[in-house]
């Protein structure tokens, strides 16, 4: 049986679209049954509507507390019989109670190689720090922002000519490949969560190192 997935968005929904495309494959182990936004008219809702996926808007401004808002989210997800939850550009921090109710069934994607560069303005901070590799991470949600067991990562070289905008574009392209991959790993049971680590149940992959800048073949 395919896992029933809910996706939370706040904006344009480009990662949502990548997940929708992945779910079209008949052997993909998950299906999106609900897309929920906290922002009325969020552009990403149109992606779900075009794919005939149920959408719902729950405006966080209509609630006096974060707890009340999260309770409304939780009720909608339960009603849709959601089994796995994906944040895809959802710009709200969850309460500890909500995280506990979805413990180890809740994924998020962040545009850095966590645990480095949590929070906002990631690409600008990466360039200012002078690192040569950045990337993106899919992790299991915990109450603290951008923390939790890491499911999968993709590394992107930081070029000398990069601006925050050019780096962001390349990282986003990697996100669109990484998130469907990570969701498939979780939905299929290819990984499991043990404490604060994600453990692979499948064979190890390529163990070759990635160098940035590239190492010359003569060395």
Polymer length of the chain? 219
CB atoms within 10 A of CB 90: 23
Give the residue among 207, 200, 203, 182 at the shortest CA–CA distance from 88: 182
Known catalytic membership, residue 110: yes
Which listed residue (47, 94, 106, 110) is catalytic?
A: 110
Backbone angles phi, psi at 18, to 5 degrees: -65, -40
Could you give the CA distance from residue 84 to residue 66 in angstroms, rounded to a whole number?
21
- In the three-class reduction of DSSP (H, G, I as helix; E, B as strand; rest coil), residue 18 is classed as helix
Instruction: Say how many C-beta atoms besides its own lie within 10 A of residue 116's C-beta.
Output: 16
> Residue 180 to residues 35, 137, 176, 187, 188: CA-CA distances in angstroms?
16, 12, 7, 10, 12
The H or E element containing residue 138 is strand 133-140
Active-site amino acid positions: 110
């Amino acid at each position: 049986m395919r896992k029933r997935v809910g996706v939370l968005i706040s904006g344009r929904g480009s990662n949502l679209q990548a997940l929708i495309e992945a779910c079209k494959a008949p052997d993909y182990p998950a299906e999106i049954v609900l897309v929920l936004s906290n922002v009325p008219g969020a552009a990403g809702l149109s992606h779900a509507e075009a794919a005939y996926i149920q959408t719902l808007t729950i405006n966080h401004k209509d609630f006096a507390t974060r707890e009340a808002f999260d309770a409304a989210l939780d009720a909608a997800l339960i009603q849709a019989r959601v089994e796995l939850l994906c944040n895809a550009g959802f710009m709200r921090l969850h309460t500890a109670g909500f995280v506990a109710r979805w413990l180890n069934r809740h994924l998020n994607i962040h545009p850095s190689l966590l645990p480095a560069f949590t929070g906002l303005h990631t690409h600008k901070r990466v360039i200012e720090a002078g690192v040569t590799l950045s990337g993106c991470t899919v992790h299991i949600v915990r109450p603290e922002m951008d923390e939790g067991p890491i499911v999968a990562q993709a590394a992107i070289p930081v070029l000398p000519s990069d601006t925050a905008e050019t780096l962001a574009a390349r990282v986003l392209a990697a996100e669109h490949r990484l998130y469907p991959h990570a969701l498939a790993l979780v939905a299929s049971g290819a990984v499991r969560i043990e404490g604060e680590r994600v453990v692979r149940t499948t064979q190890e992959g390529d163990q070759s190192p990635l160098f940035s800048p590239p190492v010359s073949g003569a060395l």
